[in-house]
Structure 1
Amino acid sequence: MMILSIALSILAGLAYAKICTDITVPVNINARQGVFDVPALRSNIDASTFALNFTSIKFNFTDVALTGYQTVTGPYNISAQFCRPDIMDKTYWDIEFNNHGYSYVDRAIAKGFCTVNIDRFGIGNSSHGDPLNLVQAPAEVSATYEITKMLRAGTFPTVPHKFQKVVHVGHSFGSIQTFLLSAQHPETTDGIVLTGWSANGTWLGQTIAGWNLHLARLNQPLRFGGTIAVDACRASPGSQGTNNSSSDATALIEQALATVGINLNRQEAWEETATTELGDILNGINATSGSAPQDLPTGYLTWADWTSNQYAFLYPPYYDLSLALFAERTKQPVTLGELFTLANGAPATTSFSGPVMVLTGREDTIFCGGDCLATGNLGGNIPKMAQPMFPNASVFEAYIQPNTGHGINFHYNATGAYDVINDFFIENGLGSS
């Protein structure tokens, strides 16, 4: 059984270690996409202006910017991680924190599944490209479709096995793409789980505003900027390159502010360092990713800082602060093209006939406005209202994870959600045969 996780033989009673391999997968993308015309973003002021236009009720900015359509084709690389039992950015599913205590992959491996986690096209270690007219949702769905075909055909690199059953687990934008995949190629998947999602897009403008968008290359210059920024930062006084700690950074801030007559205690200095954009800049000095700077174009955007991260993704106090700061250090950007095509042109329904689950945190801000049970007099819950979109599904379930915001995998009870997902597949005949 293969789980393809889009930032998968059940042998009950046995515990398994995992063997994981990082793989670069060549895919041929074929997608009809929009052509958008917006002025090049050159500063964080431009990013804020884009957010104002995108969220304005005065006009539909997507329609304003759209000038036509084109078919995007060509070979690109998708970064993936394949994991199997020993007798799966993609790291969202296998978080390297607390000895992988928040890892969905580990939970799936323990149930005997194999997994493939992918960096969506244009993000992480996958091929990058024009963030406006290349890296869009249709191209990303096309890449996932090609990878799924490889898994079924036994042509996935380094994995000469034909998987008879393949299911897809998406999160947030990955869930939108999973829905699109099931609509465009319903035969491709045997079951889908959409996490951090509902069919209600009411709060998209609130989310974009809460992000306080910045250019990714300015927000974390040592990860997303160019090599000049890296060299300058590593040569700065007091920097210790990859060994510089957040404590050292906090001390530096204290000293710098003291020279101009601003005295902060250690907690205040930490707040200034860790919870503002300054923390993102210093994160680069710590070089958590260990990879070369990506030198991303200015059409790659990200939220401003850790407080924006908490507003959109986390529900206090039900998460580990250290993990939240780790998530901020390792966050990935979003492109202009992705924002324009989040679900643009998506059909109202899919003909997919397999089992479907929607699993969303009760306090999800992005897809539930902060309470997935707040349906007024309609009853049920907000994610359950997506059921009419799957008229042919053999099973439809909506599960609300308690004490959890949008980023399910970063909360204390994440492993409980993982068990719900894997048990859903097993109970619907999608375990190993």
Structure 2
Amino acid sequence: MAALTKLSALISILTVIASAQALYSVPNGKCSDVLLPVSVTAQNAVLNITAPHNQQELTDFIAQFTSLTSNSTTQIIGAPVTNNATYKIWTELCLPTKQDSANTVEFAVHGINFDHTYWNFGGPGSKYNYVDSALKAGHAILIYDRLGTGKSDKPDGIKEVQTATEVEIAAQLVKFLRGNPFGSRFNRIIGIGHSYGSVQLIGMLGKYGNLLDATIITGFTPFSGGLNTAFGSLGWAIASEQNPKRFGALPSSYIATQGIINDQQVFFRFGNYDPAVLKAAEAGKATATLGEVITQGAGPAANYTNPVFVVTGDKDYIFCGGNCYQAVNNFTNLVDFTKAVFPGVSNFSTFIPAETGHGVNLHLSAPQVYSKIQEWIAQL
């Protein structure tokens, strides 16, 4: 009871803070951004590593971590440790000009190498802007910078910025949406994640069950055969050295992809993207932390039973090794294989956009993807 009282009080505080922010107009709606203080209690892990002293140390760690016979994770991850903390998380809540009859709000979680701009890429009116698509469909949408990215807090990248803490932050933000921010009552919350953001949604649903009314997983399958190759191909660098102007104040536990060549190989499918988009994505990329890299993983969400829609490009280099049309177990392709993560879900469907790489929203196929997602939501 005490915990529920504390949570209710927190939500009330957050609602007051959010309500005080000025709304600004975007196509088909209005938005407001605010730094929300989010309190969490998470079971992180003691990681038996130290922040790299130089690039050679980091490169050696990546080489060992991604070797085919590596057991680095089991060697590094130690005993659980409780992380009690409050973090400032940058959020943007957008409300549609005309709300749909179900009073839907979408909750979007971005992946590694991105911040919240993955969801509104290109700005208002851009065909890559997923927020525009949601608002046009009559849905409110909350996007945010995950811990350690964008305008959110950037605490210790080994001890604090781990998957368990980020999953708890996501859960608290969903509960915040249940608290009627801006006086809006949302009757249906639909989560949408990309890549590591999908991993976080799966982790949240595995712990909290039907916290979401429906879930959209993008840029993900449970296939691990290509992970080491893809992760090693990103050419990880100490972020403060890779881009001193943007990341110079960050400790060496924060890492960034080396450059545009690495980003193209892992996130894009040649021939189905605008080179200007690749250049802009590289210029605006975000960091990752060693804590995230070591602790990421998605076990089955066994207690979740609400609808799931999976959208992963057929040429996803990270989660399909570049070819999602591989049969595994009793599944004809790797995207359908994601059903194994949701054993209790009966309403499960997939869409595999053609000639599309890992960064789904940044391809020329993005408008088709957005249309498929909104069609799926409309038939729920």
Q: Tell me which interval the TM-score lies in, with the shorter structure as reference length.
A: 0.7 to 0.9
Structure-to-structure mapping, 1:124-273, within 5 angstroms: 124-154=150-180, 156=181, 159-225=182-248
**Root mean square deviation of aligned Cα:** 1.8
Alignment equivalent of 2:261, drawn from 307, 318, 329: 307
Residue 299 of structure 2: aligned partner: 347
| 2:352 match: secondary structure | strand
Tell me how far 1:119 sits from its aligned partner: 0.9
1: CA distance between counterparts of 2:116 and 2:76?
Answer: 31
Structure-to-structure mapping, 1:34-49, within 5 angstroms: 34-49=45-60
Residue 12 of structure 2: aligned partner: none
| 1:40 match: secondary structure | coil
* 1:339-393 deviation per Cα after TM superposition (whole angstroms, max 9, x unaligned): 11111xx433422111001100011000011111122796621010121321221
The alpha-carbon distance between structure 1 residues 319 and 32, as it changes in their structure 2 partners (threshold 3 A), is same
- 1:25 and 1:79 in contact (8 A); partners too: yes
- 1:169 and 1:175 in contact (8 A); partners too: yes
Tell me how far 1:220 sits from its aligned partner: 1.1
Alignment equivalent of 2:316, drawn from 340, 350, 364: 364
2: CA distance between counterparts of 1:172 and 1:332?
Answer: 14
Alignment equivalent of 1:318, drawn from 256, 260, 272: 272
Alignment equivalent of 1:298, drawn from 246, 252, 255: 252
The alpha-carbon distance between structure 1 residues 165 and 130, as it changes in their structure 2 partners (threshold 3 A), is same
1: CA distance between counterparts of 2:175 and 2:166?
Answer: 15
| 1:309 match: secondary structure | helix
Letter in 2 for 1:184: K
Residue 241 of structure 1: aligned partner: none
Residue 359 of structure 2: aligned partner: 407
Residue 377 of structure 2: aligned partner: 425
* 1:271-303 deviation per Cα after TM superposition (whole angstroms, max 9, x unaligned): xxxxxxxxxxxxxxxxxxxxxxxx111111111
Residue 42 of structure 2: aligned partner: 31
Residue 120 of structure 2: aligned partner: 94
- 1:44 and 1:213 in contact (8 A); partners too: no
Q: Which has the larger radius of gyration?
A: 1
- 2:202 and 2:300 in contact (8 A); partners too: no
* 1:309-359 deviation per Cα after TM superposition (whole angstroms, max 9, x unaligned): 00110000110000100000000111000011111xx43342211100110
Residue 283 of structure 1: aligned partner: none
Task: Mark the runs of 5 or more structure 2 residues left unpaired by the alignment.
Answer: 1-25, 99-107, 109-114
| 1:424 match: secondary structure | helix
- 1:194 and 1:358 in contact (8 A); partners too: yes
| 1:412 match: secondary structure | coil
TM superposition score normalised by structure 2: 0.86
* 1:256-284 deviation per Cα after TM superposition (whole angstroms, max 9, x unaligned): xxxxxxxxxxxxxxxxxxxxxxxxxxxxx
2: CA distance between counterparts of 1:90 and 1:425?
Answer: 22
Aligned length: 340
- Percent identical across equivalent pairs? 30
Structure 1 window deviating more from structure 2 (65-74 vs 191-200): it is 65-74
- Say whether residues 1:398 and 2:343 are aligned partners: no
- Say whether residues 1:110 and 2:133 are aligned partners: no
1: CA distance between counterparts of 2:197 and 2:159?
Answer: 19
- 2:205 and 2:304 in contact (8 A); partners too: yes
Residue 73 of structure 1: aligned partner: 84
1: CA distance between counterparts of 2:93 and 2:124?
Answer: 21
1: CA distance between counterparts of 2:364 and 2:60?
Answer: 36
| 1:38 match: secondary structure | coil
Tell me how far 1:98 sits from its aligned partner: 8.5
| 1:188 match: secondary structure | coil
- 1:97 and 1:323 in contact (8 A); partners too: no
- Say whether residues 1:330 and 2:284 are aligned partners: yes
* 1:222-242 deviation per Cα after TM superposition (whole angstroms, max 9, x unaligned): 0000xxxxxxxxxxxxxxxxx
- 1:31 and 1:71 in contact (8 A); partners too: yes
Letter in 2 for 1:361: G
Residue 23 of structure 2: aligned partner: none
1: CA distance between counterparts of 2:32 and 2:301?
Answer: 36
Alignment equivalent of 1:52, drawn from 63, 77, 88: 63
2: CA distance between counterparts of 1:379 and 1:69?
Answer: 35
Letter in 2 for 1:52: A
Residue 242 of structure 1: aligned partner: none
Tell me how far 1:162 sits from its aligned partner: 2.9
The alpha-carbon distance between structure 1 residues 341 and 376, as it changes in their structure 2 partners (threshold 3 A), is closer
